[in-house]
Chains A and B, each alone.
Chain A
Amino acid sequence: MAENIRIEVKDVNFYYGKKSALQNVSMDIKKNKITAIIGPSGCGKSTLIRLFNRMNELIPNTRLEGRINLDGKNIYSSKIDVVEVRRRIGMVFQKPNPFPKSIFENVAYGLRVNGIKERKYIAAKVEKSLKNAAIWEEVKDRLSDNALGLSGGQQQRLCIARALAVEPEVLLMDEPCSALDPTSTRKIEELILDLKKKYTIVIVTHNMQQAARIADYTAFFMLGDLIEYDVTDKIFTRPSKKVTEDYITGRFG
Chain B
Amino acid sequence: MQRHFDQELKTLKEKLLKMAALTEGAIRLSIEALKNKDKELAKGVIKADSEIDKIELEIEEKSIELLATRQPVAIDLRFLTTGMKINSELERIADLAVNVCQRVFQIADQPLVKPLIDIPKLADLARQMVKETIDAFVNKDKALAKKVILSDSQADKLRNAVYYELVDDYIVKDGSCGPRAVPLILISRHLERICDHATYIAEDTIYMIDAKIVKHHPEKLKNNKENQQ
Contacts and interface: CB of A to CB of B under 8 A. Distances in A.
Interface in B41-99: 71-78
Contacts of A250: 1, 3, 5
Interface string B3-20: 101000000000000000
Classify chain B: how many residues form its interface, as a range: 10 to 19
B138 interface: no
A209 B74 CA distance: 12
Interface residues of A, number: 15
A4 B23 CA distance: 53
A253 B2 CA distance: 10
Nearest to A238: B211
A61 interface: no
A252 B1 CA distance: 6
A249 B1 contact: no
Nearest to A245: B74
A248 B74 CA distance: 8
Contacts of B3: 250-251
A253 B1 contact: yes
Contacts of B73: 208, 212, 236-237, 248-249
Contact of B211 (A237, A248, A249, A253): A237
A167 to B, nearest CB: 36
Nearest to B5: A250
Contact of A237 (B1, B71, B77): B77
Contacts of B1: 250-253
A110 interface: no
A237 B72 contact: no
Contacts of A253: 1
A168 interface: no
A239 B210 CA distance: 11
B76 A237 contact: no
B74 A236 contact: yes
Contact of B76 (A209, A238, A249): A249
A209 B77 CA distance: 13
A249 B80 CA distance: 13
A238 B74 contact: yes
Interface of B: 1, 3, 5, 71-78, 211
Given A237-B74, A249-B72, A249-B75, 19 more contacts: A212-B73, A236-B73, A236-B77, A237-B78, A237-B211, A238-B78, A238-B211, A239-B74, A244-B74, A245-B74, A245-B75, A248-B73, A248-B74, A249-B73, A249-B74, A250-B3, A251-B1, A252-B1, A253-B1
24 contacts: A208-B73, A209-B71, A212-B73, A236-B73, A236-B74, A236-B77, A237-B73, A237-B74, A237-B78, A237-B211, A238-B74, A244-B74, A245-B74, A248-B73, A249-B72, A249-B73, A249-B74, A249-B75, A249-B76, A250-B1, A250-B5, A251-B1, A252-B1, A253-B1
